[in-house]
């Protein structure tokens, strides 16, 4: 992608004006084995049922190459997630993988995950890197596999159906917390400068852009600066991975959704000295793994987010 063009010819400044997602409340329910997390606005139709809606899927933390008792077959569970996406009653406009595609960032692991994701039936497939994707080379192998058309260390943006998407990299300059850096912060500032304030913004990153649990590095040290450039927008939604569990939080105009994983669960914040893979009883692992369906319909004020466990 260039500064003016998105992937596959999507216009960089595709500004379709519409009602923004403001004044919403977060509702959490459990129905039929699905954890449903959605920003709900009374009286609005559910965008997930509208074939005209923008619909995409988030997957995260596949950790291909992981070997351990928490999941001895991460390749199989990731393949199951891909099959589940391909079995949806609609073709997603895109699928986004929010990082830790691999466990040890080897060339073979990148080749494997790229081959597996080539089977996804979606309009586009996007990624952002996790810290496991840049273990020994500051993300060079990741960018060789997935960085075509990106800027800097792999960040980029695109527009689709009136929504502006930012895909950020906060896993390369790690001390304890995630870090964006001055070059990427300047990219964000310039990238959104020309957008109308009623443009919905969706931000993808691996590590959360809020202080989830800093003792474990579950936060980004300069996220406040990045979010300051988004303060004037009526609605901003941040979708991240890394923590291997569902969490939703709203601060002002920004709603944060942490995703689950296709590999193995991690403990809740503070449960133990470090976030090590959790081994569940036999038959319980897939209840902790899943995919995320997201939908937006122009004219709605709501972003529908549905987290579904692996079948």
Residues 117 and 110: their CA atoms lie apart, in Å, by 11
Q: Tens of pLDDT along 143-167?
A: 999 999 999 999 999 999 999 999 9
DSSP structure class, residue 84: H
What's residue 297's pLDDT? 83
11 in a structural domain: no
Structural domain boundaries enclosing 288? 20-309
163 in a structural domain: yes
2 in a structural domain: no
Residues 118 and 172: their CA atoms lie apart, in Å, by 26
63 in a structural domain: yes
- The structure tokens listed for 184 are 């990427």
What's residue 42's pLDDT? 42
14 in a structural domain: no
Say which residues have a Cβ less than 8 Å from residue 217's Cβ, sequence separation at least 6.
174, 176, 177, 178, 207
Q: Tens of pLDDT along 253-274?
A: 999 999 999 999 999 999 999 9
In this structure, are strands 201-205 and 236-240 parallel, antiparallel, or unpaired? parallel
Residues 61 and 262: their CA atoms lie apart, in Å, by 6
Instruction: Calculate ∠ Cα 198-200-202, nearest 5°.
Output: 155
165 in a structural domain: yes
124 in a structural domain: yes
What's residue 303's pLDDT? 79
Residues 19 and 1: their CA atoms lie apart, in Å, by 28
CATH number for the domain including 270?
A: 3.60.21.10
Strands (E), 79-211: 94-97, 125-127, 156-160, 163-167, 201-205
Full pLDDT tens readout for the chain, 311 residues: 333 333 333 333 322 222 222 222 333 333 333 343 444 444 445 565 677 889 999 999 999 999 999 999 999 999 999 999 999 999 999 999 999 999 999 999 999 999 999 999 999 999 999 999 999 899 999 999 999 999 999 999 999 999 999 999 999 988 789 999 999 999 999 999 999 999 999 999 999 999 999 999 999 999 999 999 999 998 899 999 999 999 999 999 999 999 999 999 999 999 999 999 999 999 999 999 999 999 998 866 657 899 999 98
CB neighbours of residue 118 within 10 Å: 9
Give how many domains the chain has, as a whole number.
1
What's residue 30's pLDDT? 30
Are 156 and 1 within 8 A, CB to CB? yes
15 in a structural domain: no
């Amino acid at each position: 992608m260039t500064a003016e063009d998105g992937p596959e010819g999507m216009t960089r400044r595709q500004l379709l004006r519409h009602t923004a997602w403001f004044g919403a409340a977060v509702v959490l329910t459990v129905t039929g084995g699905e954890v449903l997390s959605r920003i709900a606005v009374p009286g609005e139709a559910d965008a997930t049922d509208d074939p005209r809606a923008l619909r995409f899927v988030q997957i995260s933390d596949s950790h291909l190459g992981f070997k351990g008792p928490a999941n001895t077959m991460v390749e199989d569970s990731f393949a199951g997630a891909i099959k589940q996406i391909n079995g949806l009653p609609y073709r997603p406009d895109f699928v986004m993988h929010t990082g830790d595609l691999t466990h040890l960032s080897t060339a073979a692991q990148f080749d494997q995950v790229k081959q597996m994701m080539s089977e996804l039936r979606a309009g586009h497939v996007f990624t952002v890197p996790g810290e496991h994707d840049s273990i020994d080379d500051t993300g060079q192998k990741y960018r060789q596999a997935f960085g075509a058309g990106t800027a800097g260390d792999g960040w980029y943006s695109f527009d689709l159906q009136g929504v502006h998407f930012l895909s950020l990299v906060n896993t390369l300059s790690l001390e304890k917390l995630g870090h964006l850096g001055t070059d990427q912060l300047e990219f964000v500032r310039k990238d959104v400068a020309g957008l109308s304030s009623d443009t919905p913004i969706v931000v993808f990153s691996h590590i959360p852009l809020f202080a989830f649990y800093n003792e474990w590095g579950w936060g980004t040290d300069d996220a406040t600066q990045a979010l300051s450039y988004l303060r004037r927008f009526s609605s901003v939604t941040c979708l991240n991975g890394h923590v291997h569990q569902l969490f939703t939080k709203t601060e002002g105009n920004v709603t944060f959704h942490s995703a689950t994983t296709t590999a193995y669960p991690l403990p809740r914040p503070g449960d133990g000295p470090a976030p090590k893979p959790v081994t569940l009883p036999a038959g319980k692992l897939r209840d902790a793994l899943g995919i995320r369906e997201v939908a937006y319909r122009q004219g709605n004020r709501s972003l529908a987010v549905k987290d579904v466990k692996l079948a």
